[in-house]
Amino acid sequence: MPIKPIVVVTRKLPDPIETRMMELFSCRLNHDDHPLGQAELVEAVKTADVLVPTVTDRIDAAVLSQAGPKLKLIASFGTGVDHIDLATARQRAITVTNTPGVLTEDTADMTMALILAVPRRLAEGERLVRAGAWKGWGPTTMLGHRIWGKRLGIIGMGRIGTAVARRARGFGVAVHYHNRRRVHAELEAELEATYWESLDQMLARMDIISINCPHTPATYHLLSARRLALLQKHAYIVNTSRGEVVDESALTRMLGRGEIAGAGLDVFEHEPAVNPKLLKLDNVVLLPHMGSATIEGRIDMGEKVIINIKTFADGHKPPDRVLETMF
């Protein structure tokens, strides 16, 4: 790889990150921050030594099949890599990196915010005030549910799930979890967490469900219509992971019928498109995929991208390789 590799960045990144990138690399930036279409992505992979995509870019086999011989690194700006065809990248000897760890606390904060907001009907109350429809305090006005003493079921006890559990304990919530593997006994003891090998059994007994697992082929529609039907009528769902993990059509139907009490959604199955029926429901808090959207987090992500590129350009293995661990 040349001393100053050609780095194509698909979206506008924080100014300090772009400035540092321009100092180190030969950069092609996206100044107006428009999402690149497939033709633009193809042009990028044809000319780049390094591609820096984000979750909004679909780096599939059709794009990678047209990559030029110089493309040797995809340094993704983000933790998830479900937008990249890892198998095709591996076949073409393209290393893939991501930015793990830096978004844990920010996403856990947003998850906890939704866990509080949905049962207490915060969004409904805010809309009521803004609409000028609030008539004053009343003993039965805007009644929600307390979360103290409730049972929280966390799906995916990785970095973010663990951070959510730590926050939940501070609010007096009983922590339960389902994971591919049981966590260490010391962590279980610290969190006073109960492990459920059976996701179905956990879902049927929880008051709140928090989805914190990645989107992979194995987790697509993990919360299917069948599994959603296991939830108790008073249960709430919070998703700050990926929309594809939930059957959004089934969830929308159940929310509309009152078969689930409510939901807090920061992600959607076909985003940026949102099911129009969801928009009409009062028992749902809808956010524009902003769980990790802090200035500190975005700069930390950018710094990880720079380290991965610089390490690779210097002839070493970048610290955040994902390709080798995903198969």
Predicted pLDDT of residue 283: 96
Residue 75 scores a pLDDT above 70: yes
Q: What's the mean per-residue pLDDT of the chain?
A: 95
* Helices 104-117/122-130 angle, 10° precision: 70
Predicted pLDDT of residue 326: 36
- Domain assignments of the chain as residue spans, ordered by start: 6-101+294-322, 104-286
Question: Given this chain, do its domains 6-101+294-322 and 104-286 carry the same CATH topology?
Answer: yes
Predicted pLDDT of residue 20: 97
Chain center to CA of 274: 16
Would you say 11 and 77 are in contact if contact means Cβ atoms under 8 Å apart?
A: yes
Q: Is 242 a catalytic residue?
A: yes
Of 5, 12, 41, the C-alpha closest to 29 is 12
pTM, full prediction = 0.89
Interatomic CA distance for residues 215 and 55, integer angstroms: 12
Q: Which structure tokens are listed for 56? A: 């909004």
pLDDT tens digits along 201-229:
999 999 999 999 999 999 999 999 999 99
Q: Is 192 a catalytic residue?
A: no
User: First vs last Cα of the chain: how many Å apart?
Assistant: 26
| Domain boundaries 6-101+294-322, CATH class | alpha beta
Predicted pLDDT of residue 323: 60
Of 241, 210, 252, 1, the C-alpha closest to 114 is 210
Catalytic residue among 120, 166, 289, 321: 289
pLDDT tens digits along 23-40:
999 999 999 999 999 999
Interatomic CA distance for residues 28 and 6, integer angstroms: 8
Edge-to-edge strand list for the sheet holding 284-286: 194-195, 174-178, 151-155, 208-211, 236-239, 262-265, 284-286
Catalytic residue among 43, 190, 271, 303: 271
DSSP letter for 171, please. T
CATH number of 104-286: 3.40.50.720
Interatomic CA distance for residues 216 and 278, integer angstroms: 24
Residue 181 scores a pLDDT above 60: yes
Catalytic residue among 242, 244, 248, 298: 242
Q: Is 126 a catalytic residue?
A: no
Residue 265 scores a pLDDT above 70: yes
Predicted pLDDT of residue 324: 47
